[in-house]
Structure 1
Amino acid sequence: MSEVGLHCDKGRVETSSALLTGVSLPAAVIHEAPLAHNLIWMQRFAEAHGARLAPHGKTTMSPTLFRRQLETGAWGITLATAPQCRAAFAHGVTRLLMANQLVGEANMAMVAGLIQAGAEFYCVVDSSDNVGQLGRFFADRGLHLNVLIELGVPGGRCGCRTTAQVEALVAAIAEQPALRLVGIEGYEGLIAGGDEVAAVRAYGERLVETVKVLHGSGVLASEAPIVTAAGSRWFDLIAQAFDEAELREHYTPVLRPGCYVVHDHRLYADAMAEVKARDPHLQGELQPALEVFAHVQSLPEPGLAIVGLGKRDIGHEPDMPLPLRHYPRDTLATMDGAVTAPSSWRATHIMDQHLFLEIPHDSEMGSAELAVGDVIAFGTSHPCLTFDKWRHLLLVDETLTVTESVATCF
């Protein structure tokens, strides 16, 4: 294989390879047991609240993980852009919920091609201008486009802010025969400040009330209108709003968390703890499945280790990579020397391909115990920002043996 081919296949290895000795590190790794657990846990959670699950695919953009989510019972896959939708459809995803506005003729043409090929496609709208553009484009091609009105929040991202804006948009859609208004969409993830829990609950109630009003007025072109929201932080509150409104029989409530599939070690781990606190009777919880393994590259001065891991390998926002476990180089073949990384180890700076790891002398394990060639497993905070750095991630079993190379389509 050429050097170019090697670069483009970053992370791809043969199955049955031993991660610590047979794989070029750094490598992004998904642990099979927590992955399988998370797939089932979130699917059961959605079903227990009478909701469908359409995981946000932009988190992983992995056909392998899309397939496993669908096989576990997902209603469809959520995407953010037309190219993402095209990639998902090319790998067998036929129900596509684009939780975003479809803008630009090139993107519209891409979606038109998907619809002509048999995709069940939905997108959102929040302006009469966009409605007019979509209506003319799809009418010219003799196609119908399913749209959902996006309900926004003040200071948030997209979406109608007021009831008057929603009513004006309903009227604009009615003037476009090529458009089918089939429900309401929202995103609560940008609600912040004050009593956030109360604000998210109120937003969920507003979504439900809006879709009920529209359904009652007869303007929706669906017998079971869609109402959808829920990122990876507040999914329980949105699910509760849907469930309490008793939407099961006459609506299609859809939850859209994405990061749950591999979870993380801080941002969503903290959010999961809050979910558990809000519902002490909730059985089980999500588990972190994504880690990045890298070698200790240099020990240039006391208290400092340089690890062969950088911005091109692992996300570093909103938190720096989190050292989890240390594998001494003399035990890599057997893995019997793995130890939990001391709590005093801290990533302080990250460059393109180097990470600065602070190792205080008074830590549980001083820097003298660390050697060049050792391996450290790092956790992440917000998995989206690690997936997009890899064309292949490695699925491993409990012995850290590679069982599958998981491709991405970014």
Structure 2
Amino acid sequence: MEVVTLAMEKGSVELGPNLLSGVSLPAAVVHEGPLNHNLAWMQRFAEAHGARLAPHGKTTMTPALFRRQLQAGAWGITLATAPQCRAAFTHGATRLLMANQLVGQANMAIVAGLIGQGATFYCVVDNHDNVRELGRFFAERGLTLSVLIEVGVAGGRCGCRNQQEILSLAEAIAGEPALSLAGLEGYEGVVHGDNPEAGIRAYAKYLVDVALELEAEQRFSEPNPIVTASGSAWYDVIAEAFQTSLLQEKFTPVLRPGCYVVHDHGLYREAQSAVLERRPDLHQGLEPALEVFAQVQSLPEPGLAIVALGKRDIGYDPLPVVLRRYREGGDPAQLLSVAGWEVTNIMDQHTFIKLPEGGADIKVGDILAFGASHPCLTFDKWRQLLLIDADLNVKERLATCF
């Protein structure tokens, strides 16, 4: 049978080899089993709460994962920039929610092109000047742009800071024939304080209350307007706030977590533990699917291993963690001990591991699986990741569009 070789930014891989033999390392991998579990788990969660799912694509910028999310039932894909939206549309995502302000004529031109090609597109606004510029730009091209007012918080990121600003912006949008007010958008991840859960619950209620008030005043231009929020840490709290019968009768609630698709071994593992404490009825939860495999490169002195893995390969804030160890060319079922191994430093292409006493079985060439925190900061280091099965066989290449 002919073997197909796939060019990679970092080495090359033959389609179908085992990760322990024949794959140039380091390599970023996505485990097929946990990936499929996470896709189904979050889709069920959204549907059980009467919400639509528009996963944030900036996490992975991987069209093959977008396709899997849409096939699992996602309503659309969320993106952060106009070029990201163009990449997603090029690869088949037709409903795009840009959870950011559309600023700059070059970016507006990208979006105008997408709408002209049939994309259903939404972006957010929080400023009168931006509303006027968008209205002029899209009117000149005979297009209508659907916008969501962003509801912000004091000291946070973007968004209107109070209800008066929101109502004033709604009036400004109504005065622009090329703009259509399609709903409200928010992001709870910018809410902080001594009791973040209470603050986020209050913010979610405020978002819902403002949406209902604007609907009662007939401010929205589209039927079943969107109300959307939610990252990957507090999606349960947002979903509960969106589950009111009055909101669901009149609106389209949309959740936008992104990191759930591959989860992680740090920030979002901790966040998921908190979700399950708040909602023990959910069971099991998400599973980490993203890892980076690399080889021991040097054993320069007792108690120290240097691994051919660096900041160019994996997220490093906090430092990656050693999960498992294999012998090169060995049986994937035969795991070697990593008990007491500690990553102490990471450079551009080297990782330092402090070894416990008695770690004499380690060899140069041993293969280590690493986990990291915040998957966004690992995906963007790769032009391609490898989808692998439970036996570490490569099933598919997953190209990225960063």
156 and 66 in structure 1: CA distance in 2 versus 1, 3 angstrom threshold: same
- 1:50-89 pair list within 5 angstroms: 50-89=50-89
Q: How far apart are the structure 1 equivalents of 2:35 and 2:67?
A: 13
For residue 343 of structure 2, what is the aligned residue in structure 1? 347
Q: C-alpha distance in 1, partners of 2:11/2:48?
A: 37
Match of 1:295? 295
Aligned to 1:335: 332
Tell me, yes or no, if structure 1 residue 367 matches structure 2 residue 359.
yes
User: Does residue 198 of the first structure (1) align with residue 195 of the second (2)?
Assistant: no
Is 1:328–1:370's contact at 8 Å kept on the other side of the alignment?
A: no
Q: Give 1:191 deviation, angstroms.
A: 1.5
Is the partner of 2:282 in helix, strand or coil?
coil
Tell me which residue corresponds to 2:19.
19
- Taking only the aligned residue pairs, the percentage that are identical comes to 63
Counterpart of 1:378 (choices 342, 348, 370) is: 370
1:232-253 per-position Cα deviation (integer Å, ceiling 9, x unaligned): 1000000010013543232100
Residue 7 of structure 1: how far off its partner (Å)? 7.9
Give the aligned partner of residue 250 of structure 1: 250
Instruction: Report the counterpart of residue 385 of structure 2 in structure 1.
Output: 393
- The offset of 1:339, in angstroms, is 3.3
For normalisation by structure 2, the TM-score amounts to 0.96
Match of 1:326 in 2: 325
- Change in Cα spacing, 1:77 to 1:12, as seen in structure 2 (3 Å) is farther
Task: Give 5+ residue unaligned stretches, structure 2.
Answer: none
Q: Give the 5 Å matches for 1:51-130.
A: 51-130=51-130
> How many angstroms apart in 1 are the aligned matches of 2:12 and 2:65?
16
TM-score (norm 1): 0.95
Q: Which residue of structure 2 lines up, in the alignment, with residue 141 of structure 1?
A: 141
Which residue identity lines up with residue 79 of structure 1 in the other structure?
A: L
Structure 1 position 302, deviation (Å): 1.5
| Structure 2: distance between partners of 1:192 and 1:112 | 36
Report the RMSD for the aligned CA atoms in angstroms. 1.4
Q: Is the 8 A contact 1:13 1:405 kept in 2?
A: no
Conserved? CA contact 2:6–2:13, under 8 Å: no
Please name the residue that 1:177 is paired with: 177
SS at match of 2:385: strand
CA 1:245–1:238 in structure 2 vs 1: closer, same or farther (change >3 Å)?
farther
Shift of 1:8: 5.8
Q: Distance in 2 between matches of 1:405 and 1:12?
A: 11
Preserved CA contact (<8 Å) 2:212 2:247: no
Q: Please say if residues 11 and 393 of structure 1, whose CA atoms lie closer than 8 Å, have aligned partners that are also in contact.
A: no
Q: Secondary structure at the match of 1:22?
A: strand
The amino acid of 2:199's aligned partner reads: A
Deviation at 1:281?
A: 1.5
Q: Per-residue deviation at 1:279?
A: 1.1
Match of 1:282?
282
**CA distance in 2 between partners of 1:189 and 1:13 (Å):** 38
Residue type at the aligned position of 2:330: A
Instruction: State the Cα distance separating 1:340 from its structure 2 match.
Output: 5.1
* CA-CA distance at 1:260 after TM superposition: 0.3
Could you tell me how far 1:12 is from its partner in structure 2?
5.3
Tell me: CA distance 1:11–1:219, structure 2 relative to 1, closer, same or farther (3 Å): farther
Give, in whole Å, the separation in 1 of the partners of 2:176 and 2:46: 34
One-letter code of the match for 1:322?
V
How many residues are treated as equivalent by the alignment?
Answer: 398
> Aligned equivalents of 1:190 and 1:130: distance in 2?
22
2:165 counterpart SS class: helix
8 Å Cα contact 1:50/1:247 also seen in 2: no
Question: 1:253-295 deviations in whole A, cap 9, x for unaligned?
Answer: 0000000000001111111110000011213210000000000
